[in-house]
Structure 1
């Protein structure tokens, strides 16, 4: 299994790094392009066997074993209405987030992507707003859009999508 650790790229918040331009990882799922803040990316892996997790929610595909740590793989494609072109040739992007605000504890989750395109610094002025559709559609999990040679990428708030901080749907009656 090939993997590319991106943890080396992480920097502690200090006055010198706060003024640096944002750095994003771009990837594709089907014909759609996406970008995420690279600082939450832990690793990029070749496809590996995904084991079942009994009684897992429908949007959890299973888990992988990453050097002795179980990492849940979440169906990002299904959450955003996209489809992987060839799941057997997909890449796995592993993200790492703070488990709780202000906590040192972290949690890792993975997604599958058709292709990982690049890591690049962007100018904050390159981030365009998500268009208003005037239909009541609200894309609150996107920071905006980025234009590149490959097309227009949605800049996702990946932690909001994966960590389940989505608003409750009309048929979600748990813990009400």
Structure 2
């Protein structure tokens, strides 16, 4: 893997473990020679993962819509900052720059970005791994809900199993490097 996209919160949340794990992930990415692609912010978990990657000598590419740059939340110390016109363009650019996707704790935007990439993987639009860095069990309710989707016949277990889950950044990266996608949803 040359680059991984990280989706995460623009706040640090209520537990220091979230920022600690974001910093650990940044260090692991740099150590593995993997470029961080992310939303370009200097705040929250976004800033924590970017700062840690940079501090460990890694490369960081940010992608941010112009209206957010104007609000002065863009990280100014990145390897590269791509300024785009819209959130849609941001997601397209981040996907094009990335070999896989990791979600850390975050809000609606984090989930929206992850779900789009996971859906695209199910449909065969790409074959990139999608993963959850499960800090403090943050994603357990989501995983239970996804299990319910499978149990109720709204999702095949193969698509649930596409989501790679770990509490350890190095383990997550290793699992992503060994990922083999299932056949696309509508493949014959």
Task: Establish whether TM, by shorter chain, passes 0.5.
Answer: no
TM range (shorter): under 0.3
Between structures 1 and 2, the one with greater strand share: 1
TM-score (norm 2): 0.24
TM-score (norm 1): 0.25
Question: Between Structure 1 and Structure 2, whose CA radius of gyration is higher?
Answer: 1
